[in-house]
Amino acid sequence: MEANPRESAYDLLRRWRRSKVFADELLDEELSQGRLSPPDRGLVTELFYGWLRQRLALEFLTGQLASHPPRAPVALILQLGLYQIFYLEKIPAHAAVNESVALAKRHASAAEAGFVNAALRRALTEREALSARLAAVRKTEPWTWFSHPRWLFERWRKERGLEAALALCEWDNMPPETYLRTNTLKAAGQPPDLAVERVAFHPLAWKVVRPAEVFRTKSWASGAYYVQDPSTLLAVDALDPQPGEQVLDVCSAPGGKTTYIAAKMQDRGRIVAADSSSSRLRLVGENCRRLGVTIVATIACEGTHLEQCLRGNGFDRVLVDAPCSNTGVLRRRVDLRWRIEEKEIARLAALQGRLLGAAAAFTKPGGVLVYSTCSLEPEENGRVADAFARGHPEFLLETTRSTFPPKDGVDGAFVARFRRRAV
């Protein structure tokens, strides 16, 4: 029996609010049940992610239409209807209203369903005036217009200036592109069975024209390509692993960087892929098998306690792709803007410092240690790298590189490369 797409989107949002499960995991679970037609799968995704991207703007519109705040379930139903009216031009107005009212009748009282009906019909009548009021907010409360937490917008404005903060917010609200990395162990050049465009940012990256087709191609099934944002390739390029070397990847799951390391090593040598999550390490194993990587050994180990797992083994190159605030990938992880708290940034920066300190002990003299994040926050990036360099004079900070999404056209990333001085 096919599910109702608006019902599914409503249910997903209620579950997201009640749990700590990430939005992409909830959506994958819903879509995997096979109860939705292809067009309905697209509508569910649009409504679910659309509400998350435009949450504050939709709350503003709700405040314009309701004299008293409605109950949370009723507000959510109303906002799903408003999203269709104000953001989805292809949805007929009558369908947005009628389906929202039907949803309210199933999940709220008759009076509340009547309120949803009246509010949405008023929204249609006053659409131009409401749109103008919302547009005016862009100058007075830009975080509301762009639906970002105020603290995050103010942080970016203080660190980078108003124009950069606005550009970042606008970037985050655009649907992300899908990119492939050529797996040089199995392929050279672009996939023969998928429409792609060359990406100037990196020679191995391709932008997919029709992302829904990726997982139906022989190129994907054969392991010739891996879905990966080009920004994530920078850390491995800085690591510069060579065939025959011993490499440690400290926070390896799900394996995108691990398998790129193996490809650069021509699948010769040894890679130890460590991660604190055994379940996520299984993804590393699955990706290695699909991509034809044979030199990776996985180990479940918390990165700040490597000495309990590795017993003094030294490595030519060590990668610490550290857990971070993920503020460089908010376009790709649409609900993270509502999950992250400002106080977490300091905690994560401290954790990154401990991870680097633990990894340093396993970097051979003359070896390379690379620290990377997908954060835009200076506390997690340059300041962590500088603090590590000050506390570990045996390491030389050789290079740093960062990406700014609106300028570089890829996710935000930071990479620092250290070399341990030879004894």
Evaluate the CA torsion angle 385, 390, 391, 397 in order and state its sign. positive
How far CA 170 is from CA of 47, 48, 51, 338, in Å, comes to 19, 19, 15, 16
Is the distance from CB of 170 to CB of 406 less than 8 angstroms? yes
Distance of alpha carbon 46 from alpha carbon 38, whole angstroms: 13
Torsion angles phi and psi, residue 205, rounded to 5: -100, 145
| Residues linked to residue 180 through DSSP beta bridges, in sequence order | 206, 227
Of the candidates 169, 301, 324, 374, the residue annotated as catalytic is: 374
Return the number of other C-beta atoms located less than 10 Å from residue 231's C-beta.
Answer: 26
| 374 given a catalytic annotation | yes
Distance CA 272, CA 266 (A): 16
- DSSP E strand boundaries for 178-293: 179-182, 196-198, 205-208, 225-227, 246-249, 270-275
**How far is Cα 73 from Cα 384, in angstroms, rounded to an integer?**
43
For the chain, give the longest Cα–Cα distance: 78
Among 380, 352, 401, CA closest to 235: 401
Judge contact between 335 and 17, C-beta under 8 A.
no
Catalytic site positions? 374
